[in-house]
Amino acid sequence: MKKITYAKAIKEGISEEMRRDSTVFMIGEDIGVYRGTFGVSDGMLEEFSKERIIDTPVSETAFMGVAIGSAMTGLRPVVELMFSDFMAVCYDQIINQAAKMHFAFKEKVPMVIRTASGAGTGASFQHSQSLEQMYAHVPGLKVVMPATPYDAKGLIKSAIKDDNPVVFLESKALYNDEDYIPDDEYSIPLGVADVKREGKDVSIITYGRMVKTALESAKRLEKEGVDVEIIDLRTLVPLDTNAIISTAKKTGRVLIVHEAVKFAGFGGEILSTIIESDAFNFLKTNVRRLGLGYHAIPFNKNLEEEVFPTVEKIEFEIKDMLKQKSQD
C-alpha cells in the first residue's frame, strides 16, 4: 500500500494505461510543459513525449473534435477540459457528435473527457459549477465522479478501456486529498456504487466532494448516537439503482446530497429511483434533498462555503428527520 493524492492517483491510472496500450494519448490545453491546470499530468510529457501528450491551442471545440475523430479511427484519447464549466464552449461536439456516433453509424467512440468540477477553491461562478446532470441527461455518455484517490485511479482505468465516451468529473477541491491505494494495478467497474460507511438509522446518498462532507457529518452524529450509512454512487451513468433501493429499504430514511444546484439536479433522479420502486413502502419519512440554491456561485470564500451543503446543514436535516419520527 502507498499513500497518494487524488491528482496523482488519476495520473498513475492514465500512465499505466498509456504504457499498456499505445493507442491511448492525452490532449488538451497546457497539459505538457505546464503539467495541467491542477498538475495531474506532471512528468507525463517527459515519459510519453509530445506525440502522446498533446498541447492544444485555446479552442475547446477544436481539440474536442480532434479527440472524437481520433476515437472513431481506433485511438483512445483522454481529453483534459480545464473546467467542467467550459463544456458550454464545446457542448455541440460532446452531445451531438461523441454521444451520437454509435447510434448513428455503429461507430465506437472510446474517449474520456476529464474535467475539473465543482467548487471549494474560491474560483467563482464561471469555474465552480457542478454540471454532471447535464452530461447524465444525454444518452450515449457515461458519467463518472470519484470521491477518493482509490476510486479515482480504479475508475479512470476502466473509463479508458470503455468503448463509449466517458465524462470523468474530478472534484477540484479533492486534488490534494491523500489516501492509501494498492501498489499493484487494479480497476473498478463503472456502474457500481460503494458503501463508504455502514449504518442503520439514516442513509446519505451522495457522490464527489460531498462524500467527504457526509463522512464528517456521520462522525459527529455518531457521538450523539445516530448511525449514518453513506452510499457513494461513484458513477451516475450507469447508475447503481440496486444500491440506492437497498439502502433506502435498510434505513427507511434517505438524505440525498450533492453540490450541484438542487433544482433539476441529479438528486431528482435518485429520488425517483426510490419512489418508483418497492423501497417507497419502507420509508419512515419523506426523502430529502440538499444541494446548492438556485443562484450563481459567489467568489468570496466565506460566501461560497455558506451556499453549499455543509456538515452542519447535513446534521440539521438528519436530526429533523429523526425528530419527525418521534412526532408521528
From the candidates 127, 137, 258, 295, which is the catalytic residue?
Answer: 127
Is 127 marked active-site? yes
Q: How far is CA 309 from CA 25, 233, 235, 251, 256, in A?
A: 37, 17, 20, 22, 11
Bin 228: left if φ > 0, else alpha if -120 < ψ < 50, else beta. beta
How far apart (Å, rounded) are the C-alpha atoms in residues 166 and 152?
14
Q: For residue 17, what is the enclosing H or E element? A: helix 6-20
DSSP 172: G
Q: How far is CA 92 from CA 86, 95, 169, 276, in A?
A: 12, 5, 18, 33
Longest dimension (CA), the chain: 66
How far apart (Å, rounded) are the C-alpha atoms in residues 18 and 48?
8
Catalytic positions: 127
